[in-house]
Chain A
Amino acid sequence: MEMTGAEIICESLLREGVDTIFGLPGGAVLPFYGALSGYPKLRHILVRHEQAAAMAADGYARATGKVGVCSATSGPGATNLVTGLMAAQMDSVPIVCITGQVPRAAIGRDAFQETDITGITLPVTKHNYLVMDVRDVAPAIKEAFYIARTGRPGPVLIDVPKDVLAGDKIEFQWPDEVDLPGYVPPGAPDPRQARAAADLINRAQRPVILAGHGVLISRAWDELRELAEKAQIPVITTLLGIGAMSTEHVLNLGMPGMHGMAYASLAIDRSDLVISLGARFDDRVTGRLSDFAPGAKIVHVDVDPTEFNKNVVADAPVLGDLKASLRALIPLVESNVHLDWIKETDTLRAEHPSLFIRKSDVLLPQQVMKQISDETNGEAIIVTGVGQHQMWAAQHYGYKEPNSLITSGGSGAMGYEVPAALGAKVGRPEKTVWSIAGDGGFQMTLCDLATAVENKIDVKYAILNNGSLGMVRQWQDFFYDKDFFATIYSGNPDFVKLAEAYGIRGIRVTKEEDVSGAIQEAMETPGPVVVDFVVKEDEFVYPMIPAGESVHEMLEEPEAEGVGFERA
């Protein structure tokens, strides 16, 4: 059957198994929306701001492992996607964005709502397309999905001029395969590389595994556990690697780095081998590079060759898909017990109780996260933005399952938590989804509460409300002479009334004894709920390794000294 470009897009999306599109229409993309209304299998979720479309697609992708899809119109619609694209690019999340463009003849003439979105998004996409011929529409979509989900995943944008969407009709032909001679995602590793890595692992006395997002992307959590248990190697999970191993597992030492567990950072410091699995040695993990793991050799397993020697030189690089690489490594790694080393890491845990929450008359945000963890039995999906709330959510929630923390890691985008939680819940409706926000980030994207209401997306929104940009305030307190300039929010709205204005339940909590009741009430109430936890204004995230410093400059919770370790 002959079809327009817009209809070809819809057909192609069905072929790719798409069920949901987050978007907001406008003039140039309208022909696509005209076709979309005839495809009820493609659920369109209308957002209130295009940034939410990109971030919801991102949350959907992280929660499901599938490619998330969003759409926007030309010009401002497309540029509003950019922060969401950056978040997906930094954290290797597969999304495909379809944008409308002005008609071909108008391109380059500063037409109404014209912008060079393929130019603008070059640094924040894995690849992008400007499709100038209706015959290229189907191949571009096939390629875009393939590129987005394979190798190191990432966002792909497809820009389609209005007259390609609504111009000539052609016979729809779905390509059998992609034609990308310049793109060959690595599969199994070179056996020599696996051998060299295994030799280092077998010789190590004090090894640690640094498990990153790659473990989750490659769905290699079983292999991770197998390797760790076989050779009794402590596992440290980066912020994006949280969930790769249950926090209840005895070998899991938690998150390292700037606000990581002191014992995790110290274990890396004392190790003789760091086995990095799909992690990228971010500065939040390493601190000052010259002091990072000074006595350790590095095994670096990654699907992206540009990661090798980027921040840390690998003694044994292994290029390959992580699951395939671990499958190759495990038989080569000898069983071991590392008894002295495991004992030493246990002692570190006992001496540095990083999860200690002190007594307080004022509600502490850590208590809220701990209670949400207890009330959901560590089985909810937690979605955060960036800042103090993010770190407390990473620290005090007991993640049991893969892909249960969805957070704006590399990009550090405030406001990510509101729309990404929508995407996560749409992708996994059977899960309880809590969006954890600060009052700052929440106000960046709260307009999309309306999207939750309109589409009956049952997300529970917790605001850890300290009336300020908490993390920035903490830096001002520690490093900028307590000059709290431009970080105090004195004009915040009443979040409970705001929730009510959207027609949903709003709950305010100011005392510790009311926390668990409010969490239960939120979860028992059908539909979205906003819980405004009014927490201590000047609480700090500990531990903290200041930027550019090392584990030796780490600051720990002052009151935690002398408190014994209590295993969760």
Chain B
Amino acid sequence: MNALSTQQHTIIALVQDRPGVLTRVAGLFRRRGFNIASLAVGASEQKGLSRLTFVVTGDQYTVEQATRHLEKLIDVVKVSNISEEDVVARELALIKVRATPSNRSEILEMVNLFRAKVVDVGTRSLVVETTGEEDKIDALYDLLKPFGILELMRTGRVAMVRGKTGGRVSDDVGADAIIMGRNGAVAERAVSSAPGHYEGV
């Protein structure tokens, strides 16, 4: 993989459900200069533990550092980078769209086409609920845009590794992922590893 390519990575973290844990996670990302594209939090199957799904934008260096630093937080129990895994990923969106008696049926047609549903009907608007992968939501949004979007609320991605693969992802990002280092890559070492060139401090 090209170490400098920037892409989206999905990271799942199991964290202890304690006050301040989100601040710790968010503060870490800001402090180390990692970009969060989305972040979703909720209860897990285990009492006292929450599960977070992050989408991190960055190169391989960034995502490696981000996962290891997350792992290092005392309240974080486990971190998995599931970007390379076979996953189910979903996002929920609520879209409030401008609607008049004359175009309401046209909107409903699109909503049905996307297997979305209308969850609120007002005199001048509809609230549409849709679940799916991000591009499905993007597509519905684009189609509804000409009617006038009044409000959009997206949850951010939640993701889970599919059962068929065994559902197991690396338990130990810290050790196994770097077990053999980068043998033979001495020439490009410093350049490719640097978080962007910086002048001396």
Contact = CB atoms under 8 A, between A and B. Distances in A.
Partners in one complex: yes
Contacts of B179: 190, 192-193, 317
B132 interface: no
Contacts of B74: 126-127, 147, 180, 182-183
A310 B69 CA distance: 11
Interface string B49-81: 000000000000100110011011111111000
Contacts of B100: none
B191 A290 contact: yes
B194 A290 contact: yes
A118 interface: yes
A122 B181 contact: no
Given A123-B31, A306-B69, A118 B77 contact: no
Nearest to B66: A306
A548 B76 contact: no
B190 A312 contact: yes
Given A180-B74, A182-B73, A308 B190 contact: no
B175 interface: yes
Contacts of B164: none
Contact of B175 (A122, A147, A305): A305
B167 interface: no
A362 interface: no
A157 to B, nearest CB: 12
B27 A122 contact: yes
Interface stretch (B14-22, B85-93, B121-129): B14-22
B16 A181 contact: yes
B192 interface: yes
A308 B173 CA distance: 12
Pick from B27, B61, B175 the residue with the most CB of A within 10 Å: B175
Contacts of B180: 192, 196, 316
Nearest to A548: B200
Given A190-B175, A319-B175, A181 B77 contact: yes
A181 B46 CA distance: 13
B165 to A, nearest CB: 24
Nearest to A309: B193
Contacts of B201: 283, 547-548
Contact of B72 (A123, A190, A283, A304): A304
A306 B65 contact: yes
Interface string A283-311: 10001111110011110100011101111
Contacts of A444: none
A123 B27 contact: yes
- Chain A facing B: main interface SS: loop
Given A190-B175, A313-B192, A182 B181 contact: no
A317 B181 contact: yes
- Chain B facing A: main interface SS: mixed
A283 B195 CA distance: 13
B186 interface: yes
Contact of B68 (A296, A305, A549): A305
Given A547-B200, A548-B200, A309 B19 contact: no
B24 interface: yes
Nearest to B15: A182
A512 B193 CA distance: 49
Contacts of B15: 182
Contacts of B65: 306, 309-310
B16 A182 contact: yes
B92 to A, nearest CB: 28
Interface residues of A, number: 48
B30 to A, nearest CB: 9
A132 B19 CA distance: 10
A302 to B, nearest CB: 11
A391 interface: no
Given A306-B65, A547-B200, A313 B77 contact: no
Contact of B193 (A183, A283, A311, A547): A311
A488 B119 CA distance: 71
Pick from B31, B61, B178, B199 the residue with the most CB of A within 10 Å: B178
Contacts of A306: 65, 68-69, 72
Contact of B183 (A287, A288, A295, A315): A315
A119 interface: yes
A546 interface: yes
A314 B181 contact: yes
B47 interface: no
Given A190-B175, A296-B186, A313-B193, A546 B200 contact: yes
Given A283-B201, A290-B191, A315 B16 contact: no
A315 B181 contact: yes
B7 to A, nearest CB: 18
B69 A289 contact: no
B181 A316 contact: yes
Contacts of B31: 123
Pick from A119, A300, A305 the residue with the most CB of B within 10 Å: A305
Interface in B1-37: 15-16, 19-20, 23-24, 27, 31
Contact of B200 (A186, A295, A309, A549): A549
Contacts of B174: 186, 305, 319
Interface string A513-542: 000000000000000000000000000000
B193 A312 contact: yes
A130 interface: yes
Pick from B61, B194, B198 the residue with the most CB of A within 10 Å: B194
B90 to A, nearest CB: 26
Contacts of A183: 74
A315 B182 contact: yes
Interface in A540-561: 546-549
A196 B189 contact: no
B113 interface: no
A130 B200 contact: no
A196 B183 CA distance: 10
Contacts of A118: 20
Contacts of A315: 181-186
A314 B184 CA distance: 10
Nearest to B21: A182
A318 to B, nearest CB: 9
Contacts of A287: 200
Contacts of B200: 283, 287-288, 546-549
Contacts of A319: 174-175, 178
Interface of A: 118-119, 122-123, 126-127, 130, 132, 147, 180-183, 186, 190, 192-193, 196, 283, 287-292, 295-298, 300, 304-306, 308-317, 319, 546-549
15 contacts: A122-B23, A147-B74, A182-B15, A182-B73, A182-B74, A182-B75, A183-B74, A283-B201, A289-B190, A290-B194, A298-B181, A306-B65, A309-B178, A317-B178, A319-B174
Closest 8 CB pairs of A and B: A548-B200, A547-B200, A305-B174, A182-B77, A313-B193, A289-B190, A306-B68, A127-B74
